[in-house]
Structure 1
Amino acid sequence: MADFGRGVLYPDEHAAMAVLDRRAPSARLAPFVEHFWNVRWNVREPYQTKVLAHPSVHLVFEEPAARVYGVDRGLFVRTLEGRGQVLGVKFRPGGFRPLAGGPVLDLADRSVPAADLFGDLSALNAAILGAPDAAAMAALAEDFLDPLLPAEPDPLAADAAEIVERIAADPSLTRVDEAAALLGVSVRTLQRLFGEYVGASPKWVLRRARLQEAAARADAGRAVDWAALAADLGYADQAHLSRDFTATVGTPPSKYART
C-alpha cells in the first residue's frame, strides 16, 4: 500500500484508488525541490482526493497542460476519473521563489498555466506523460528545471524552509512569536519572509501543522484522547480543536476517525 504521506485524508481509501511513486531530486536541485511525485490511477467511478496541503508550490505535468499550484490554504480537492497519471514537482518552502516572478503569496489558493511562467511546455508535458516510468518522468522534469534555478539558493529561502521544517516537526509549536524567535527576528519580519518565499502566513503554517497532526492521529487506527491532543497542540480545549478541524475538513475529528 502506498504511503501518501501526511496531509492526504482517508489514506487507506486513497491508496486503493491510486499508486504513488516518489523520486528524490539530484543534489543540485535538492535545495529547491523536495521530491518528484507520480500518481497513477484507474477508477471505475469518479473519486475525490482530499488533501490538507503543505506550504509548498507544485509544478504539475498533467492533461491537458502543465500547471503551477500555489499553496492551498483550504482543503485541496481533486476528482480522479478513468485512467490517468500526473507528475508533480514539490518545491521546498521558498524553493519556488526564483521562478515565481514575484512574492509566492501571489499564487496562494490558485493555480496558473505553467506556460504563464515558463512559456510553451506542451512538448515537454507530452514527453513527460509519455515516459515509461516515474524515474524517466522525473529525469525530464529535472533537466528542464536545472538551467532555470540559480547556482546557489537564497539564504532567506533557506531561513523560511528551516522554520517551516521546525513547525512541521513540532506541532506543539503554536505561536508566531515563538517561531520568529527561532530565527531571531520580529514577528513582522517573519510575516514578510513567509509572504515573499512560502506563500502563506506563519499563523497558517502553524495551524496547518496542527490539523495535519490531528488527522494523522485519527488515521493511525488507534483510540484518540481528543482532549489531551487538543492540549498538546495548543488549543484552548477539545471544542476549539473540533471547530478548527471541522472548518477545514468538513467533519469533526472524532467523526473523521470513525469514517
Structure 2
Amino acid sequence: MVDDQFDGRGVLYPARLPSFHREPAPAALRELVRWFWIPRWDLPPGRTIRQQVLPFPASNLVVEPGGAILAGPTTGPSQRDLSGQGWAVGALLRPAAIFAISQNPSGTRDVEVPFEAPELHRSVSAAMSLEDRALGRERAIHAYSAWISEHCPAPDDSGLLANEMEERISSHASIGRVDQLASSLHISVRRVQRLAHRYVGVSPLSMIRRYRLQEAAQHLRDDPSLTITAVAARLGYADHAHLTADFRRVLGFTPHSYRQDSSRP
C-alpha cells in the first residue's frame, strides 16, 4: 500500500510496491533531507517482488536490519528483489547534506558502500521493531532526524546554492539545458558544473535529464489521455523521437511499452 500523498516520481511501478511511505523531513532539516522513505514487506514463502526505481539524482543514506549503507547517485535505473520479511529507512539527502557525509559523492556513483553509524542503526532498528508500525515509523524518523541534526552542520552559502540548483531542476520542467539553469541562478555554467560535481556527484545535464525522464514516466503512467508526443512537448524534449531515445538509453524500453506494462498490477 502506498500513501495518498505519495510523490510518484522515480518509482516505475507503484502498484507493485509493498507498504511504502514517504515522509517530509522536519522543517529544521529541510535544507539537508528531502524526505524519509520507509518500505516494509512481509511476503509468503516463495513469493518475490521486484522493486524497480529510477532514482533521484542524489545520494541516499539507508538503514536496514543488517546495518547502514550510503547509496550514491546513479546513472541508470535500479532494482531489488524483495522476499521474506524486511524493512528499510532511508533519507534522500539534499546536496548540502551529502558533502558533510561524503566529500566525494562522485566516488560512490552507481555503488552502495557500508556506512558506519552504529547509534543510528541501533535507534532506528529499535523503532522499527515496535508492534505498532505507525508509531515505529514515527519514532524511526525522529531518531534519524536527531542523528542528522547532530552529524550534519547547517549548510554554508555554497551548499545552499547547490540546493537551489537542484530545486530549480526539480520544479521547473522548462529547464532542459545547463545554460538555462545557470541563467536562472545568475551564475556561470562553469560554476553550475562545479556545484554538481562537488555536491551531487553527477553532471548538471545528467540531473536535468533524470528529472525530466522521471516526470515523463509519471505522466505516461498516470494520464493515459496524454499522447507520448504531448508528454515530450510538455517536458521540453525536441520531439517524440528524443523522448523515446532517452527511454531506450536509460531504461531499455520505449515509452509505449512502459505505458502498457505500468498499467498491469
Q: Do Structure 1 and Structure 2 share a fold, with TM-score over 0.5?
A: yes
Counterparts of residues 20-99 of structure 1 (less than 5 Å): 20-44=20-44, 45-99=47-101
The 1:92–1:245 alpha-carbon spacing in structure 2 relative to 1, beyond 3 Å, is same
- 1:139 corresponds to which residue? 142
Letter in 2 for 1:106: G
Q: Distance in 1 between matches of 2:171 and 2:185?
A: 16
Residue 94 of structure 1 aligns to a residue in which SS? Answer: helix
Q: Does structure 2 retain, via aligned residues, the 8 Å contact 1:57–1:68?
A: yes
Q: Does structure 2 retain, via aligned residues, the 8 Å contact 1:114–1:121?
A: no
CA offset at residue 39 of structure 1? 0.9
Q: Alpha-carbon deviations, 1:123-155, whole Å to 9, x = none? A: 4464344345101111222222222121x3121
Q: Distance in 2 between matches of 1:95 and 1:126?
A: 23
Counterparts of residues 1-259 of structure 1 (less than 5 Å): 1-2=1-2, 3=6, 5-14=8-17, 18-44=18-44, 45-100=47-102, 102-115=103-116, 118=117, 123-124=122-123, 126-131=125-130, 133-150=136-153, 152-259=154-261
Letter in 1 for 2:107: D
Consecutive unaligned residues of structure 1, counting only runs of 5 or more, are none
Q: Distance in 2 between matches of 1:228 and 1:215?
A: 13
Q: Distance in 2 between matches of 1:75 and 1:173?
A: 22
Q: Distance in 1 between matches of 2:121 and 2:235?
A: 45
Residue 97 of structure 2 aligns to a residue in which SS? Answer: coil
Q: Does structure 2 retain, via aligned residues, the 8 Å contact 1:105–1:199?
A: yes
Q: Distance in 1 between matches of 2:24 and 2:235?
A: 31
Q: Does structure 2 retain, via aligned residues, the 8 Å contact 1:23–1:135?
A: no
Consecutive unaligned residues of structure 2, counting only runs of 5 or more, are none
Letter in 2 for 1:66: A
CA offset at residue 7 of structure 1? 0.9
- Give the number of aligned pairs: 252
The 1:6–1:122 alpha-carbon spacing in structure 2 relative to 1, beyond 3 Å, is closer
CA offset at residue 104 of structure 1? 2.1
Q: Normalising by structure 1, what TM-score?
A: 0.89
The 1:27–1:169 alpha-carbon spacing in structure 2 relative to 1, beyond 3 Å, is closer
Q: Does structure 2 retain, via aligned residues, the 8 Å contact 1:128–1:141?
A: no
Letter in 2 for 1:145: I
Q: Distance in 1 between matches of 2:260 and 2:111?
A: 32
Q: Distance in 2 between matches of 1:42 and 1:235?
A: 41
Over the aligned positions, Cα root-mean-square deviation in angstroms equals 2.0
Q: Does structure 1 retain, via aligned residues, the 8 Å contact 2:31–2:163?
A: no
Q: Normalising by structure 2, what TM-score?
A: 0.87
The 1:239–1:26 alpha-carbon spacing in structure 2 relative to 1, beyond 3 Å, is closer
